[in-house]
């Protein structure tokens, strides 16, 4: 029982006693002047309670004092002598709820006081104790009061011991929790630091074109970095310590992450990926983009690991709500599936479909549990449908705020004509893949309000072209390679042809056929529908322009020399002027002697950590009248680290291993557009 309800219950019992005492006073003709005091005291208690005036302890003392007054007034009358035992017993039981021994002692003292007062001033002992029965009755009353006192005392002591034990247990848990947070921070720093060096140095080797081995090293480093994150995420989900880091993001960036992960995955081989992005999804939303990226990554990795033939269908759509939208992420595969027992175990903790040491699927079995944990923290839910041998569908729904409600895929007003999809249904050995493509095409056409027609073969194409104005034809690589001359000739007219093909495919010389890298999905299709043959940068990866920060002077602070080498090599790609420091004190000294636009500060350094160094640097900047940005560049990347660093006074946060999109996002946010030059622009 909480304190407010406890006080309300005690006041209610005292009120009932006061009303009864008022009735007794009237019937017995006791002192009339006491009745207004009883009425006023009762009303005063309720006023104090509902108004929450004074402190809780003072209010409790007032309630006890008023109850003592009631018992005293009742007990000093001869007719109520035999009732004193009952009144005091009820008080002991009632106020034992305060869990204070001294309260019980006060009530017991009042009982002894009343008995003594009654014997001396109120009643004649000779008229009361006339026989052995009266004496035994009085002794029994004493025994009852003292027994109830002892019982209540023991009960209070036990509860106090339980409370002390619980408090100690809570303090121990909080201490262990703090130790675990420190442990995770240290683990994050100690593991991410060498991984940052591995990834960074391999990237530098790749730029020098030293051989394919550098790519293998980099891929291994990326995989290790992901597994470190997975362990941290799993631990935070298990401890309910996940902290959301919300920011504005483009909805299409989620799909780009899926495509990049799929193409980089070493297990994809002949798997087909179909991406169904609903055009109605708002172009910009607000949420934890990093955790959404991880949800996509875990779902995709699990689908790839356990799908040997066929493919994967990724669908992203939204449902409007009062608070924004429910963002729905759906991942279906044609893999091995799961039985009901496996489905039940997923949400309970670690689960991996293949637990043998010689498994080829990889992974450490934490992905789906992390997905459940992230979705729960975001206020969403996860639904899994699966049967053994028939594939799995995982649907994640999370609420998101809408920043820009404009559709993420929007067709130009100048679009005219009809669209053909030329895909042979018999080329897919797995029937579900055919269904995936059909769903994607129909959903895209209905979302864009575009007339779409299916053509199985060249005869169907010619028949439809005779009946209507066909302006665009989309097809697969196999369909083009069956009749390349026909389609090359067709592309020389007014019809725009686009082929969804794998890496390395090129149409014949002289052909105007456009190439879209697999998988086929909404963005490049809309790009071509809007711009026709003038469409460029069909892929996100191609269209992205690397920002340049010409003239930006940066100081990188890290106690690990190799991290400075990595950061220097990476930052120079953005045309920044780089200087380095191996400690916080060296950074402050260099800052006083030189002008820097931005300082990238490591966190865990000996002698002076990054937070302390940042605050001293801010102080030095104020003394010399200079302003600069300070960004935390650290391997301490546990959940909530970004908020912690921002709260401490940093202007931004970048985790190690350095993720270039994170770096660019922070830099573009800090520096005005006129200080940023895009690659390919002239001064």
Per-residue pLDDT reduced to its tens digit, 122-140: 776 555 555 677 778 888 9
| Predicted pLDDT of residue 264 | 65
Cα–Cα distance measured from residue 361 to residue 366, given in angstroms and rounded to the nearest whole number: 13
Give the CA count within 13 Å in the CB-facing half-sphere of 376. Answer: 13
* Partners of 312 in the β-ladder: 273, 333
Ranges 158-167, 290-299, 544-553: which has the least confidence: 544-553
* Mean pLDDT across the chain: 84
Q: Which two tokens stand for residue 260?
A: 């990049």
Could you give the percent of the chain with pLDDT greater than 70? Answer: 89
Chain centre distance of CA 157: 43
**Tens-place pLDDT, residues 100-124:** 999 999 999 999 999 888 888 777 6
Superfamily for domain range 418-543: Response regulator (3.40.50.2300)
Q: Rounded to 5 degrees, what angle do the CA atoms 536, 539, 544 make? A: 80
Domain with CATH 3.30.565.10 in the chain: 247-407
| Predicted pLDDT of residue 541 | 45
> What letter does residue 449 receive in the DSSP assignment?
T
Cα–Cα distance measured from residue 649 to residue 276, given in angstroms and rounded to the nearest whole number: 42
Residues 479 and 485 sit within 8 Å (Cβ to Cβ)? no
Domain with CATH 3.40.50.2300 in the chain: 418-543, 547-678
In this predicted structure, the answer to whether residue 174 has a pLDDT above a threshold of 50 is: yes
Give 216's pLDDT tier (boundaries 50, 70, 90).
confident
- Average pLDDT of span 657-671: 83
* Partners of 313 in the β-ladder: 274, 332
Looking at 3.20.20.70, 3.30.310.160, 3.30.565.10, 3.10.180.10, the CATH number of the domain 247-407 comes to 3.30.565.10
In this predicted structure, the answer to whether residue 680 has a pLDDT above a threshold of 60 is: no
Q: Which two tokens stand for residue 426?
A: 């018999």
**Tens-place pLDDT, residues 487-509:** 999 988 888 898 888 777 888 88
Cα–Cα distance measured from residue 521 to residue 489, given in angstroms and rounded to the nearest whole number: 26
Phi/psi of residue 510, nearest 5 degrees: 85, -10
Give 360's pLDDT tier (boundaries 50, 70, 90).
very low
**Tens-place pLDDT, residues 223-266:** 888 888 888 888 888 888 888 888 888 888 888 777 776 766 66
In this predicted structure, the answer to whether residue 447 has a pLDDT above a threshold of 50 is: yes
Q: Which two tokens stand for residue 96?
A: 């034992």
Give residues with Cβ within 8 angstroms of 48, minimum separation 6. Answer: 54, 59, 62
| Predicted pLDDT of residue 644 | 85
Residues 331 and 393 sit within 8 Å (Cβ to Cβ)? yes
For 318-366, where are the alpha helices, taking DSSP H only? Answer: 340-346
Cα–Cα distance measured from residue 476 to residue 499, given in angstroms and rounded to the nearest whole number: 5
Residues 531 and 480 sit within 8 Å (Cβ to Cβ)? no
**Tens-place pLDDT, residues 513-525:** 998 888 778 888 8
| Predicted pLDDT of residue 348 | 59
Q: Which two tokens stand for residue 424?
A: 């042979």
**Tens-place pLDDT, residues 604-650:** 888 899 999 999 999 999 998 888 899 998 876 666 778 888 889 99
Per DSSP, the three-state class of 119 is helix
Give 353's pLDDT tier (boundaries 50, 70, 90).
very low
Is the Cα dihedral 132, 138, 144, 147 positive or negative?
negative
| Predicted pLDDT of residue 607 | 84
Helix (H) or strand (E) holding 392: strand 391-407
- Average pLDDT of span 379-384: 92
Q: In terms of residues, how long is the chain?
A: 683
| Predicted pLDDT of residue 415 | 85
Give 539's pLDDT tier (boundaries 50, 70, 90).
low
**Strand bridging mode 470-476 / 496-501:** parallel
Q: Answer yes or no: CATH 1.10.10.10 is held by domain 547-678.
A: no
């Amino acid at each position: 029982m909480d304190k407010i309800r406890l006080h309300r219950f005690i006041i209610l019992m005292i009120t009932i006693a006061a009303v009864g005492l008022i009735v007794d006073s009237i019937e017995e003709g006791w002192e009339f002047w006491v009745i207004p005091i009883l009425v006023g005291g009762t009303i005063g208690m309720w006023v104090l309670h509902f108004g929450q005036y004074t402190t809780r302890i003072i209010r409790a003392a007032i309630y006890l004092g008023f109850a003592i007054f009631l018992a005293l007034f009742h007990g000093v009358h001869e007719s109520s002598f035999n009732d004193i035992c009952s009144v005091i017993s009820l008080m002991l039981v009632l106020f034992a709820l305060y869990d204070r021994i001294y309260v019980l002692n006060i009530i017991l003292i009042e009982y002894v006081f009343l008995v003594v007062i009654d014997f001396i001033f109120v009643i004649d002992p000779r008229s009361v104790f006339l026989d052995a029965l009266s004496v035994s009755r009085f002794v029994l009353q004493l025994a009852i009061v003292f027994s109830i006192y002892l019982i209540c005392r023991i009960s209070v002591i036990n509860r106090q011991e339980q409370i002390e034990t619980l408090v100690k247990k809570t303090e121990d848990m909080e201490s262990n929790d703090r130790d675990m947070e420190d442990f995770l921070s240290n683990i994050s720093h100690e593991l991410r630091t060498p991984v940052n060096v591995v990834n960074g140095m391999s990237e530098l080797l790749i730029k020098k074109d030293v051989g394919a081995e550098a790519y293998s090293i980099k891929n291994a480093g990326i995989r290790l970095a992901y597994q470190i994150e997975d362990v941290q995420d799993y631990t935070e989900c298990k401890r309910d310590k996940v902290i959301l880091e919300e920011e504005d993001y483009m909805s299409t960036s989620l799909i780009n992450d899926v495509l990049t992960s799929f193409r980089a995955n070493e297990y994809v081989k002949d798997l087909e990926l179909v991406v169904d992005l609903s055009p109605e999804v708002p172009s910009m939303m607000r949420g934890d983009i990093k955790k959404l990226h991880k949800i996509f990554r875990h779902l995709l990795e699990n689908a790839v690991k356990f799908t040997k033939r066929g493919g994967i269908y990724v669908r992203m759509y939204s449902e409007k709500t009062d608070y924004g939208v429910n963002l729905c992420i759906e991942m279906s595969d044609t893999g091995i599936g799961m039985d009901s027992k496996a489905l039940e175990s997923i949400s309970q903790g670690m689960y991996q479909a293949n637990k043998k040491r010689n498994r080829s699927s990889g992974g450490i079995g934490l992905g789906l549990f992390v997905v459940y944990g992230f979705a729960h923290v975001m206020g969403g839910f996860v639904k899994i449908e699966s049967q053994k041998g028939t594939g799995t569908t995982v649907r994640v729904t999370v609420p998101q705020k809408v920043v820009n409600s404009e559709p993420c895929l929007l067709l130009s007003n100048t679009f005219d004509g009809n669209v053909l999809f030329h895909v042979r249904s018999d080329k897919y050995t797995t029937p579900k893949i055919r269904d995936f493509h059909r769903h994607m095409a129909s959903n895209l056409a209905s979302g864009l309000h575009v007339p779409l027609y299916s053509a199985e073969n060249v005869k169907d194409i010619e028949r439809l072209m005779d009946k209507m104005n066909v302006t665009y034809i989309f097809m697969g690589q196999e369909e083009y390679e069956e009749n390349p001359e026909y389609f090359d000739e067709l592309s020389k007219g007014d019809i725009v042809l686009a082929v969804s093909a794998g890496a390395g495919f090129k149409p014949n010389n002289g052909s105007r056929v456009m190439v879209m890298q697999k998988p086929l999905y909404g963005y490049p299709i809309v790009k071509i529908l809007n711009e026709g043959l003038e469409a460029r940068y069909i892929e996100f990866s191609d269209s992205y322009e690397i920002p340049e920060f010409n003239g930006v002077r940066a100081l990188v602070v890290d106690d690990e020399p190799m991290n400075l080498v990595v950061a220097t090599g990476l930052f120079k790609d953005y045309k920044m002027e780089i200087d380095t420091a191996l400690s916080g004190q060296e950074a402050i000294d260099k800052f006083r002697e030189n002008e820097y636009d931005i300082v990238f500060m490591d966190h865990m350094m000996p002698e002076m950590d990054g937070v302390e160094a940042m605050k001293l640097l801010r102080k030095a900047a104020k003394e010399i009248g200079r302003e600069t940005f300070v960004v935390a560049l650290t391997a301490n990347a546990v959940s909530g680290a970004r908020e912690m660093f921002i709260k401490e006074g940093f202007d931004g946060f970048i985790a190690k291993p350095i993720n270039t999109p994170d770096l660019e996002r922070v830099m573009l946010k800090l520096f005005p557009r006129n200080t940023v030059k895009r690659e390919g622009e002239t001064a």
